[in-house]
Amino acid sequence: ERLPALLRLMPKAELHIHIEGSLEPELMFKLAERNGVQLGYPSVAALRAAYAFTDLQSFLDIYYAGASVLLTEADFSEMAWAYFERAAADKVVHAEIFFDPQTHIERGVPIETVIKGLGQAARRAQAELGLSAKLILCFLRHLSEADALRTLEAALPWRHHFIGVGLDSSECGHPPEKFARVFARSREAGLHLVAHAGEEGPPAYIEAALDVLQVERIDHGVRCTESPALLLRLAASRTPLTVCPLSNVKLRVFDTLARHNLPALLAAGLCVTVNSDDPAYFGGYLNQNLVETFAALPQLGAAEAYALARNSFEASFVPAAQKAAWV
Ligand code: ADE
Ligand code: ZN
């Protein structure tokens, strides 16, 4: 088959991957043992059997529990390195990875342990895999804006280790407006801005992320098709959407891949990209997302494959000169 080969072999960027969501059960058990952390599941198989999600929150509960095994710089580095090796095998040449420092600070893990461990793996990815890797610090939207502001202040001494900030966790009931000041402060610090919006939340959350937070990209954003005016705006501005098809099906945003609106988003002229979100939990890394999505949607062919790869570089935060070499 030529299309799956094209999808697998084309160079691409990944822009929506939560590094804690790349923690495979096998490594989770290994770190649990090493750190003396009790996981609450007797085996890898029992843990995997619990990965039957009904919505975003049912996933997040298990995802935060899984992150409890991460304690040392080496733990963060080992987790990220495992992702970079898999990403390089998928022909990912540039990755912008999300991390959730509040999940770790809450457990007494210093923010510098998280940032140093991830940063070390990112430098090794560049040196040994030729994969450029950047970090984006995400604020947890179920926590307060004051907590997010404290986290930003704690991270700013490490400002040169990350390129931007994002907003993730439970979307409904936590609109972007709640984080207006922390995003304004991040913008003053010269950081890039992104936010999850329109995954489970309404189109109004996407508009607020753009107008109030002034984000440069929307993570997910798939519910934008419910607002024709918003769809036109996103197409005209080429505001990127980092779409995650396998995640959307596992969290029941769409019933099946065949019902995903990726073809409609591409046809409307949006700068859409495909990404893996939390690959250890949702059944596949980037190439698996691409191959399964294209298999389920016969409207998608070589032209769309090329457009997605091109969009992934256009949407990235790499300097213009580096971008020109890719697109
Ligand atoms: N954290 C990790 N994955 C997420 C997702 N898909 N949506 C919101 N928060 C997340
Ligand atoms: Zn996400």
Query: Distance between the two ends of the chain, CA-based, in angstroms?
Result: 25
Q: How far is the CA of 113 from the centre of ligand 1 (A)?
A: 22
Q: Given this model, what pLDDT does residue 1 score?
A: 79
Q: Position 171: which residue type? A: E
For residue 278, which atom of ligand 1 is closest to its CA?
Answer: 3
Distance CA 195, CA 201 (A): 12
For residue 251, which atom of ligand 1 is closest to its CA?
Answer: 6
Distance CA 133, CA 84 (A): 8
15, 59, 281, 282: which to mutate for ligand 1, most atoms within 8 A of CB?
59
Q: How far is the CA of 66 from the centre of ligand 1 (A)?
A: 14
Q: Given this model, what pLDDT does residue 326 score?
A: 86
For residue 115, with 0-12 CB atoms within 10 Å meaning exposed, 13-18 middle and 19 or more buried, which class applies?
A: buried
The sheet carrying 192-197 orders its strands as 12-18, 92-99, 132-140, 164-168, 192-197, 217-220, 241-243, 272-274
Write down the catalytic residue from 14, 24, 96, 199: 199
For 169, phi and psi rounded to 5 degrees?
80, -165
State the maximum Cα–Cα separation within the chain, in Å, rounded to a whole number.
Answer: 53
Domain of residue 295, CATH code = 3.20.20.140
Crossing angle (nearest 10°) for helices 302-314 and 2-9? 10
Q: How far is the CA of 168 from the centre of ligand 1 (A)?
A: 5
ipTM: 0.98
Q: Given this model, what pLDDT does residue 157 score?
A: 98
Q: How far is the CA of 245 from the centre of ligand 2 (A)?
A: 11
The protein residue whose alpha carbon is closest to atom 10 in ligand 1 is 169
199, 200, 248, 251: which to mutate for ligand 1, most atoms within 8 A of CB?
199
The protein residue whose alpha carbon is closest to atom 1 in ligand 1 is 169
Q: How far is the CA of 1 from the centre of ligand 2 (A)?
A: 31
Distance CA 249, CA 251 (A): 5
Residues 214, 217, 218: CA angle, nearest 5 degrees: 95
Give the C-alpha distances (Å, rounded to integers) separating 175 from 70, 179, 217. Answer: 29, 8, 16
Domain coverage including residue 296: 2-326
Q: How far is the CA of 152 from the centre of ligand 1 (A)?
A: 19
Q: Which residues line ligand 1 (CB under 6 A)?
A: 18, 21, 56, 63, 168-169, 196, 199, 247, 277-278
The protein residue whose alpha carbon is closest to atom 2 in ligand 1 is 18
Q: What is the 3-state secondary structure (H, E, C) of the chain?
A: CHHHHHHHHCCEEEEEEEHHHHCCHHHHHHHHHHHCCCCCCCCHHHHHHCCCCCCHHHHHHHHHHHHHHCCCHHHHHHHHHHHHHHHHHCCEEEEEEEECHHHHHCCCCCHHHHHHHHHHHHHHHHHHHCCEEEEEEEEECCCCHHHHHHHHHHHHHHHHHCCEEEEECCCCCCCHHHHHHHHHHHHHCCCEEEEEECCCCCHHHHHHHHHCCCCCEEEECHHHHHCHHHHHHHHHHCCCEEECHHHHHHCCCCCCHHHCCHHHHHHCCCCEEECCECHHHHCCCHHHHHHHHHHHCCCCCHHHHHHHHHHHHHCCCCCHHHHHHHC
Q: Given this model, what pLDDT does residue 206 score?
A: 99
- For 37, residues 6+ apart whose C-beta sits below 8 A from its C-beta are 31, 68, 69, 71
199 is catalytic: yes
For residue 220, which atom of ligand 1 is closest to its CA?
Answer: 6
For residue 25, how far is the Cα from the chain centroid? 19
For residue 256, how far is the Cα from the chain centroid? 21
Distance CA 323, CA 300 (A): 25
Q: Which ligand number lies closest to the CA of residue 277?
A: 2
- What is the mean pLDDT for each group of 10 consecutive residues in the chain (327 residues)? 96 98 98 96 95 98 97 98 98 98 98 98 98 98 98 98 98 98 98 98 98 98 98 98 98 98 98 98 98 98 98 96 87
Q: Is the dihedral of CA 164, 169, 172, 174 positive or negative?
A: negative
Domain total in the chain: 1
The protein residue whose alpha carbon is closest to atom 6 in ligand 1 is 277
